Amino acid sequence: MVQEFIEVEDVGTFRLVAEQAPFVIRRDPYLFAQYFSSMIFINVAKLEDREVKRLFDMLRGKTIVVKSLVKASSISDFLEKVGEVKQSEQHNRRC
C-alpha cells in the first residue's frame, strides 16, 4: 500500500520511475507512478508543452486515464456508491 507521495519536477527523474512501474496513472494535471511503497508524481501543468508531449508519447502504452475516483471500504460499499451516482445522473437527465 502506498504510504508516501513524492513530487518531482524533473521529467527525466519521473521517466526513470515510470519505466520501472507497470503502469502510470493520469489524473490531470498529475501523472503518478508507484515505486515500492511510494507514489512518485509530477504536475504536467508546470512543464513546457514539448516536455509534456514527449512524456505522453513515451508513456502512451502504459498510461491509465482516470475518469473518476470512488472511495469505498469494501466492494459492497463501492457498489452502493456507484449505484447512488448512477441514480443521481438518471434523475438529473429526466429533470
- Return the CATH number at 59: 3.30.720
Rg (CA), the chain: 17
Does the bond joining 29 to the residue before it have cis omega, within 30 degrees of 0? yes
Question: What's the distance, Cα to Cα, between the start and end of the chain in Å?
Answer: 42
- What's the sign of the alpha-carbon dihedral 58, 59, 61, 65? negative
89, part of any domain: no
Q: Tally the domains of the chain.
A: 1
Q: Is the pLDDT of residue 28 over 90?
A: yes
Q: Which three cell numbers stand for residue 42?
A: 509530477
Question: What's residue 88's pLDDT?
Answer: 58
Residue 91 inside a domain? The answer is no
**Rounded to two decimals, what is the model's pTM?**
0.76
Return the pLDDT at 16.
Answer: 93
* C-alpha–C-alpha distance, residues 71 and 12, integer Å: 32
pLDDT tens, position by position, 45-95: 999 999 999 999 999 999 999 988 889 999 999 999 888 765 655 655 665
